[in-house]
Amino acid sequence: MAGLYVHIPFCKKRCLYCDFFSTTLLERRKKYVEAVLKEIAERKNEVEEIKTIYLGGGTPSTLDAADIRRILEAVGTDKAEEITMELNPGDATQEYLQAIRKAGINRLSIGIQSFQDDLLQLIGRRHNAAQAIEAVKMAQEAGFDNISIDLMYALPTQSMSQWKVDIETALELKIQHISCYGLMYEEGTVLTKRVEAGELTAIDEDEENAMYDYLCKRLKEAGFVHYEVSNFAIPGYEAKHNSRYWNGTPYVGIGAGAHSYVGNIRSWNKDDLEAYLSGKAQREQEVLSETDIYNERIMLGLRTNKGVERSAIKKDVKAHIEAGLLRETEDGHIVATQQGLHILNRIIEDLMI
């Protein structure tokens, strides 16, 4: 049984750090929904008995609740245990939240990023801190009892005390899941250009690691399980859909730019909105070799708290264990230590073949 990802590539405004595939051409939304419905119908055999559904973007909450319902109805949600939708706090109204819940959404991922107005402005988000808090409260009032929020750290000018306030504010909201990402300076984004021009200073690696360590420690104290590098959940609320990406279980991607992974085949729709709308977008695919599959297993497995079976790792992990970067669990899995998480990408590269 597969998971389904539906990409909604519309944003009311572009955030200054973002290099995701999205567009502000909101007038294309209606046509896009029709194209998504057409793709679902064409791939009906692939979207049968879907267990998890994730509407991501872009900003899915730029769509009317009626269109969210049409998409879910076209997929069929009888077997779906988890139906997540990303929500921008600026789009939250009681009426909208009630309507999407009625349409079948049972988990929200709210893109809060920060509870500090100065930082939200700096990174070009369209909501403010009060709206973020209000969005969570409204969602809870509308009956959502499985809410995740996204937070960002290592933002230019962000202080440790601001970060601590963000974490405490999140905890006070009594949500079930938190995803936290250190800011990445993607090539060509406005924020990257401002740092390159010397207008802003990126915070240094030690400070970033200190923010990450504080986050892990504080959320653990508050009862969250740190089950993936960037993801924390109250036990039982780990994201079922996202876990597919990390565990290598199949998923189908619908919409422009969406990726699918079934068997040893990865396929994707090109991230070309006009081609997708005209129905001319061709799906591309690659067949993963044994080496690709091994490398993916290392890359994704080491990001999780389950790690990778030692017997499945083809390189010697002894040096990393002695350096305190990896450790072996009682059931013979290799997992990253807190120190190892700081340089996880380098460790993964060492263990790939």
Q: Mind giving me the DSSP string for 123-151?
A: TT-SS-HHHHHHHHHHHHHTT---EEEEE
Phi and psi at residue 182, to the nearest 5°: -75, 140
Closest CB to ligand SF4 among 22 and 84?
22
- Dihedral angle of Cα 56, 57, 63, 66, to the nearest 10 degrees: -20
CB of 11 to ligand SF4, least distance (A): 3
Q: Is the dihedral of CA 46, 49, 54, 58 positive or negative?
A: positive
Here the tokens at position 351 are: 């263990």
Does residue 247 sit in helix, strand or coil?
helix
State the nearest-atom distance from the C-beta of 233 to ligand SF4, in Å.
Answer: 22
Binding site for ligand SF4 (CB under 6 A): 11, 14-15, 18, 20, 22, 57-59
Tokens of 312: 């499945």
Least separation in angstroms between CB 1 and ligand SF4: 28
First to last CA, the chain: 30
Question: How many whole angstroms separate alpha carbon 272 and alpha carbon 9?
Answer: 10
Of 10 and 224, which CB lies nearer to ligand SF4 in the complex structure?
10
Nearer to ligand SF4, 269 or 304 (CB): 269
* Closer of 253 and 340 to ligand SF4 (Cβ): 253
Q: Among 159, 135, 170, 241, which Cα is nearest to 207's?
A: 159
Cβ atoms of 62 and 29 within 8 Å: the answer is yes
Nearer to ligand SF4, 18 or 300 (CB): 18
Q: How far is the CB of 111 from ligand SF4 (least distance, A)?
A: 6
CB of 76 to ligand SF4, least distance (A): 27
Q: Which residue lies nearer to ligand SF4 by CB, 58 or 156?
A: 58
Cβ–Cβ under 8 Å, residues 26 and 10 = yes
Cα Rg, the chain, nearest whole Å: 20
Closest CA to 59 of 7, 112, 103, 124: 7
Between 57 and 301, name the residue whose CB sits nearer to ligand SF4: 57
Which of 12/346 has CB closer to ligand SF4?
Answer: 12
From residue 202, how far is each of 58, 113, 155, 192 by CA, in Å?
25, 17, 7, 9
Choice between 60 and 340, CB closer to ligand SF4: 60
Q: Which residue in 205, 232, 234, 207 sits closest to 217, CA to CA?
A: 232
Minimum CB distance to ligand SF4, residue 124 (Å): 7
Name the packing angle between helices 344-351 and 290-301 (round to 10°): 150
